[in-house]
A = this chain, B = another copy of it.
Amino acid sequence: MKVSVYRKAHFNAAHRLHRKDWSDERNQATFGKCNNPSYHGHNYELIVKVKGEIDPETGFVIDLKVLKDIIEEKVIERFDHKNLNVDVEEFQDINPTAEYIAVVIWRILRQEIKEDLELSVTLYETPRNFVEYSGE
């Protein structure tokens, strides 16, 4: 029996959409108010989905306490109360759009979750704007 298990977490971060290799004009024209030089921020809501067979011993696909701790240690501690553009290594060369933040988080977690488990990441930038990445 294959079941999907979801764990929700959140982090608060500042960011701006900006390409260092573009002129200020082009950045402003493309990213609008999201390009504000002094940054803005979000309460990011993160939903991590892990899909796989139920372990008949425990009745778990993955122990949610374990999944919670992985998310906490590998994502939240590194992203929470940070400026994504300034403080987080992965975004030195990647523009922190919601799409790329989801991809970065997926890549971080993919290394921590056993290979036979499918992984998907949903990231809410606001309650009205969100994205999902599954490794495709």
Residues in A lying within 8 Å of B, measured CB to CB = 1-10, 12-15, 17, 30, 32-34, 36, 38-43, 54, 58-61, 64-65, 80-83, 86-87, 94-95, 97-100, 102-103, 126-133, 136
Check A41 against B59 for contact (C-beta < 8 Å): no
State the oligomeric state as a number of copies: 6
What are some 22 contacts across the A-B interface (CB < 8 A)?
A1-B99, A2-B136, A3-B102, A3-B133, A5-B98, A5-B131, A6-B130, A7-B128, A9-B128, A12-B40, A13-B40, A14-B14, A33-B81, A38-B87, A40-B82, A42-B43, A43-B126, A58-B95, A59-B94, A59-B95, A59-B100, A61-B131
Please name the residue on chain B nearest to A36 by beta carbon: B81
